[in-house]
A and B are shown apart, each in its own frame.
Chain A
Amino acid sequence: MKKDELIEPGLKERLSSEREKGWRKALRQSISVQKRLSLPRQPMPAQPPAQRIKNFSEVNLGYTLKMAQEEARRCLDCGYPACVAGCPVAIDIPSFIKYIEAGELEKALNKIRETNGLPAICGRVCPQEIQCERNCNLVKTGREPVAIGHLERFVADYFNQPQLSLSTEKSVESSGNEVKKKVAVIGSGPSGLTVAADLARLGYSVTVFEALHLPGGVLAYGIPEFRLPRSILQAEINFIKSLGVEIRTNFIVGKTATLSDLKAAGFSAFFLGTGAGLPSFMNIPGENLLGVCSANEYLTRVNLMKAYLFPEFDTPFPAGRKVAVIGGGNVAMDAVRTALRLGAKEAIIYYRRSRAEMPARVEEIKHAEEEGIVFNFLTVPVRFLGDGKGKLKGMILQKLALGEPDSSGRPRPIPIPGSEFEVEVDLVVMAIGQSPNPLLIKEIEGLKLGRRGNVEVDLDTLACSLPGIYAGGDVVRGGATVILAMGDGRKAAKEIDKFLKSC
């Protein structure tokens, strides 16, 4: 499948019927293409680096209405909107942008919400540069793409302000006296919330079970406040609750109750969205020294438990003057920038490939650089060194060279013999990936698992090896992105609906 083709059935027709509406035509013609092409991309206002490294407030400040409309004018409202094909949930991007241009913000938000229940979050954390914005036709003319992510965020935030309220679409009541079928969604991360919202809209009774004490999954424990303020997350979750979804926290399916218990309690279909919660370690000497921790631990302490407010909040965080984060993805960027905000004098990334292969979002890398994070490429730790009392004091690193592409398509890092060197460090955060948390999925008898401990699904339907059980997001994919998890959620909701109608 090519990433810029609109292949979803009926999608092309839907987009073009919107585009042919009278107001759209008039708006399109109100400004010349030449004029639109001459407008520069609106930069995102942000807290200055020197200020933001001392706080946990959001880095990006968001567009004003004027900036958003100025940016919306750059969109050419193309006849073939390739941007939509780059979006895993196929948001009608030109429509919502044109509604912004026309000043119809509520319509813009409703347009996004037709296919995306978490716009304020996606506007912030999606890797737009490899999705919608990569496909923007402006890029083909050598210009910067329309800031689709910034615009999505703007619309969502506009209605998250306390003085404004939006008439939200309530859950559709099922017709007649028919008893609503019950669906259990396990995990309240991006895939689970999306499934829940879509099924509630279809009239099902949906309960989301969350193991932790707050909903949101990785959005709550993983992504820091400075990227996703908790008030924004709360507003999005409140919206999903307003659709009639019940969220039960502190409920560990597999422990508090088994899947069979839930079946006995009347749930007819299940969605497993338990994420990739198991942190990877390197299995090298010294890894259990005090001062070596997983990014999951570090970020959970700070984000979920608010350790950055210690001792006003009771959970402490491991402190370090010189902090090294191992990895090159978004989690690594989040951890290293968190370390800086917690008072590290030096916060350093060690990544085993080169800059070009870093999986982190471009904006995160840019923000990290502005904040003074030091990047070391083609370097990997081989041993951690203790002080004799169990505390980390340094590590031995090794240099690598890039070889032939491996199974992931990226060049394989190859150790260079004799290149080892020692550095002092007092905290190391391992951000080298996560795999699916086995807690629940290993307890389900007969559930087929893949080689990496992931749940095996039929890729077309997301159905597991057991009837009535579907899965999506990181528990299937390993560590991927919020939006891919949401795409899975949408697909699973459609399939669960089909399944429940057929039985």
Chain B
Amino acid sequence: MLTVWIAVAIGVLIEGALIVTIVRFRRRRGEPVGAPVGRHGSTPIEILWTAIPALVLVFLGILVVPLIFETAAAAPPNAVKVRVIGHQWWWEFRYMQGNKVLFTTANELHLPNGRAADFSITSADVIHSFWIPTMFGKRDAIPNHSNDIWFTPKNPDPNATVSYPGQCAEFCGPAHSLMYLNAIVEPEAAYDAWVRHQESKAAPVVASALVRRGEQVVTQGSCAGCHTIDGTAAAGQVGPNLTHIGSRANLSGPQLAANTPANLARWIHNSSDFKPGSHMPPQNLSKSDLAAAVAYLESLK
């Protein structure tokens, strides 16, 4: 913010000097013009107006350089560790403990209020950029390269659950504009409950014929080729992990679509409807199979 105020002050000064100059020295009608003479220069003035901006910039530099090192410092040891993997055009989140993956989810991130969150960021395909604007700056997700960024989310009301939408900030192809994510910052207790739930395997199938049929369609059909649902035969590594998709509030992010049966059905039928160029091919399921699949997925709370 200080940089902004310094910039505004400098701007007002220089623009002001320009306006004062051209008004004061404008050619008046009828005045004789004379030879084009005038001061060629002045070494003291040149030194002065080189030194003063230099000092202002040195001042800024002294303030900024320590900040650069501070933001690059290691995260506190109790930080939540998340491996962020950018894909065309969705976000994979692997919650880690050391080198062990606790669980994998997609697009929706939960974080405990007041505790540092440490992100190790990479990409599975092209360069993306992980950005939650209202929370912190961005860091690029680059294939064959790992980037780190950490910050401590702090809700104004420590008991509230607040949603911080984010999106990809480095052009990555046709659906770049729609590569959303959502970070939900909640009290520590709620966060712990969410973590424990995510670590569990897929919810057992309830005694509903539709949902059982849906389990068959999803875990034994083409879906399993790309998606993983822990505890079932579906172990595909291409698309988002769907183990607890029923508990996600949105498809992709709140900016795109709420996670309703109607939207999910539309997504499965033709994801390009929502994300042009999506790599998930349209699924040619019969109406009943589609309804079953949706019912099953929504049951995966």
A interacts with B: no
Q: List the interface of chain A (C-beta within 8 A of B).
A: none
